[in-house]
Structure 1
Amino acid sequence: MTLKIDHIYDEQCRRFQDSFELVGKRWSPAILMAINLGSHRFSEILARVEGLSDRLLSQRLKELERNRLIDREVIPTTPVQIRYTLTERGADLMQALQPLVGWGLRWEPELQPMRAVS
């Protein structure tokens, strides 16, 4: 399905920018993908996303939860377990990102990642 936009309105630009900034935060897409692929506990996500620190993972999980992309479930065991899952909104976002992943795979050899410049 192609979204046809004849004119760009301030509200559309703002919403696009807000969405892109949320998804474009470093580590957020990798965290969402890890959860989507079955890593539901903090340690599992941390192990799956190479280079991510526990402090930054904690921060990103809070942001993703605040934006209702993931749910945080507290399991009352000893010790307490925390489980993260994608919400319907988060699963929808993962579907929306699939074409972008495909684009990246297609053009990856020609892309100049920001991390290479820094």
Structure 2
Amino acid sequence: MNKLTLLPLILALAACGKPGVPDTPLEAAARRTCSATIEARATNPKSIAWLGDTPTPVKHGANGQMEVAITFSAKDALGTAVSMLAICQVGADGKTLVNIAVKDSR
């Protein structure tokens, strides 16, 4: 096998490890708003561990609102670590929380 036939395979494998498109400043603000809300509402805020190497993309709605999904684990009232998924709807300014839904991600 010559080196030219391996080139597409090497390039494809190299692209798999690249991170996604970085957040815009507004998307980063929306992500911070969601994270801050999670920390403020947690039973044990110091037990929060953010999961996932790369954040999920921020979704944009027609009305300018953004939807941010964040996975994390935190200890409940009994001290048991639970993996959770929070989906936050944040206003167009990136700072106003419209809604948050948190569910067990097991």
* TM-score of Structure 1 vs Structure 2, range by shorter chain: under 0.3
* TM-score computed with the length of structure 2 as normaliser: 0.27
1 or 2 for the larger relative contact order (CA 8 Å, sep ≥6)?
2
Judging by fraction of residues, say which structure has more helix.
1
* Structure with bigger gyration radius: 2
Judging by fraction of residues, say which structure has more strand.
2
* TM-score computed with the length of structure 1 as normaliser: 0.25
